[in-house]
Each structure stands twice: as structure tokens, then as C-alpha cells.
Amino acid sequence: MAADDRLLERVRSVLGRRSVSERRMFGGVAFLLRGHMCVGVLGSTLVVRVDKDKSDALLAPPHVRPMDFTGRPMRGFLYVEGPAIRTAGGLKKWMDRAVAYASALPPKK
């Protein structure tokens, strides 16, 4: 599944001048911050990396579910879809969570 070009541009805009790299992952595009995956775009779905211990609590809102790319839920990774990221504020809220988590991790070598 190719990444949605419009969502990619929105993600790039929110990331702004942060030093991130882009890499093809999971059949889409992942954005890495300090070497750690932060967010990604898979089709029209935003992939968000969060603290594993807090990921279950973040599943409450509609249009959010565990990332199950391998057929099994991956703790610490969420799929956020449709109305949850349709507005600029909604997208920024989810991306801010991912950026905060990735920023707190030690840089990869």
C-alpha cells in the first residue's frame, strides 16, 4: 500500500525544520527522529510511535487501533485514521505525542 501523498505533505509540514530522515518501511514511509521511528504514513493511515506502557490508554478515542502490521498487535505503535487526523489540530496532537516520545529516547548510533 503506497503512502498517501497529501498526508505525507501534511506530516512533513508539522515536522517542519526538525532534523528527521525518511525511510521506506511497512510498505509506506517512516519518519525517523534521532534514528528512532517517530511517525509513519501507510496509505491514508498515520502510524504513531508512543511509550509501550501508555499505548493501551491511547486506544480509547475512535479511529485509533493497535498497529497490527504483522498480524499481531505491536505495543507502542498505533494506527490513527480518518477523522482523528483530518484536521490540522488532530494531526498535530498525534504527531506531538510521537515526537515527544522519540525525542526522549537516546540517539541511535
State phi, psi for 17 to the nearest 5 degrees.
-90, 5
CB 31 within 8 A of CB 7: no
User: pTM for the full model?
Assistant: 0.91
Say how many residues make up the chain: 109
CA separation for the pair 36, 82 (Å, rounded): 25
Q: Which CATH superfamily is domain 5-104 in?
A: YgaC/TfoX-N like chaperone (3.30.1460.30)
Q: What is the rounded distance in angstroms from the CA atom of residue 38 to the CA atom of residue 20?
A: 9
Strand order in the sheet with 45-49: 20-25, 28-33, 36-42, 45-49, 74-80, 64-67
DSSP state of 58: G
Q: Give 22-70 pLDDT, tens digit per residue.
A: 999 878 999 999 999 999 999 999 999 999 999 999 999 999 999 987 7
Domain ranges of the chain: 5-104
Per-residue confidence at 90, pLDDT binned at 50, 70, 90? very high
